Amino acid sequence: TRPISSAFFGPQEGAALVNALQRFLVEQTEKGIPAIVHEEALSGLQMKGATLFPQAIGQGSMWDPELVEKMGGAIRRQMRAVGVRQVLSPNVDVARDARWGRVEECYGEDPYLTARLGVAFVQGLQGDDEKYLKVVATPKHYAVHSGPEADRHHFDAAVSRRDLHETYLPAFKACVQEGKAGSIMSAYNRTNGEACCASNMLLHDVLRSQWGFDGFVVSDCGAVQDMHQHHKITRSAAESAALAVKNGCDLNCGCIYAEL
């Protein structure tokens, strides 16, 4: 029930751990449903012995989508070798303030560059098979997440419609429509009053209706519980879970969906 970082394991240990977990879930649980094992990979698989690439802000400085796609392919092969099938990357937030605590995770301040590198990374991770994804890429954090880091669990990003669609959404749109990303991660913060992991505007009107996204949405880890603990827009864990599900958050990174 608690996350275990693969950073503590080598590739062989990691693969053995994932195999044991899947065997238990398939053979010894009532439904026999295997787990979706995910990992971070902004600069490579977070595991001992895996290849470490430059931070994303350094990748942005290369201006080289082709190289970023090759990097994504290398990360994908290492992910598959240890049983990981969902990658919580790339970060396609736009860095608008150098004081933001996660500038190093994204490609910089330009929406166009961010879109081009985001699409390249998604395509490198997922591969080019018409039917099967090699791994599921998960662009994040949807959306308008590059605000004050210390306040991210209760911050409301008030943004104009023009700034939303010209600055913050283009990279996500490109990753969905061009890169065919299989998943999207919603952010901790609110955007124009709605919690991002339960935003009808972001998840339904824009993502699915306008862009035609047919993958799954996962919350950032612990974001659903933020709705009652920090945003104060719901009164309980059950209300937060229900609001997220009704508005299009398919998968909760956390434990709140047990309240359903």
The catalytic residue among 151, 220, 226, 250 is: 220
Active site residue 93: no
Task: Give CA–CA dist 220/206, Å, rounded.
Answer: 19
Task: Give CA–CA dist 49/61, Å, rounded.
Answer: 26
Asked if residue 255 lies in contact with residue 238, where contact means CB atoms within 8 angstroms, the answer is no
Helices (H) and strands (E) in the chain, counts: 8, 8
Q: What is the DSSP letter of 178?
A: T
The dihedral built from the CA positions of residue 26, 133, 57 and 217, taken in this order, carries a sign that is negative
* DSSP bridge pairs for 137: 87
Catalytic residues: 220
